[in-house]
Amino acid sequence: MAKRITEAQLIRAFATAPQAVMREGKVFLQRGLSEYKRVAIQTSPWRVGQSGGGIPVKTGNLKEQHRTVINGLEGRFGVGDKRIPYAEYVHGGTPGGQMKSRPWLDFARMRANSSVEKHYKAFMDNILAHIAA
């Protein structure tokens, strides 16, 4: 189990091995965001014929437009193309409820959290190893 890193330890890790901390951080982000994407696209609970429409991200534009963006130690996952203006309606539903919401990004976040937590623990363990070195 990973130990909790204090702010002082994290600052020390950045001071002593900044490239290693950045590298480990990017590995964590890549692995964590790939878990979210895998869950959102492969295990979506919505099925064709359900109220509100079909599968939100298994086919078509929404599936093709999912993007993972990593910038420094910040990462995001979602639909990244403005050519899909209906993505927010698929996720959140329409005003008045004509289309029921299918919040696949929230579902992915909740479903993948345990896997992402394992990657986070490995990230923290690796940073602690750099501090101890």
Q: What is the pTM of this model?
A: 0.68
pLDDT, position 129? 80
Tokens, residue 63: 């599936």
Q: Give domain status of residue 2, yes or no.
A: no
Q: Give domain status of residue 48, yes or no.
A: yes
Structural domain for 106, as ranges? 7-132
Q: How many CA atoms lie within 13 A of 26 on its CB side?
A: 9
Number of structural domains (the chain) is 1
Could you tell me if 54 and 48 are in contact, meaning their C-beta atoms sit under 8 angstroms apart? yes
In the three-class reduction of DSSP (H, G, I as helix; E, B as strand; rest coil), residue 53 is classed as strand
Q: Give domain status of residue 125, yes or no.
A: yes
pLDDT, position 80? 64
> Is the predicted pLDDT of residue 75 greater than 50, yes or no?
yes
Could you tell me if 100 and 5 are in contact, meaning their C-beta atoms sit under 8 angstroms apart? no
pLDDT category at 1 given cuts 50, 70, 90 is very low
CA dist 130 and 22 (Å) reads 12
More confident residue, 54 or 66: 66
pLDDT, position 55? 53
CA dist 24 and 71 (Å) reads 14
Q: Give domain status of residue 1, yes or no.
A: no
> Is the predicted pLDDT of residue 59 greater than 80, yes or no?
no
Query: Across the strands, what pairs with 53?
Result: 50
| 17-26, 47-56, 86-95: least confident range | 47-56
pLDDT, position 96? 87
Q: Give domain status of residue 113, yes or no.
A: yes
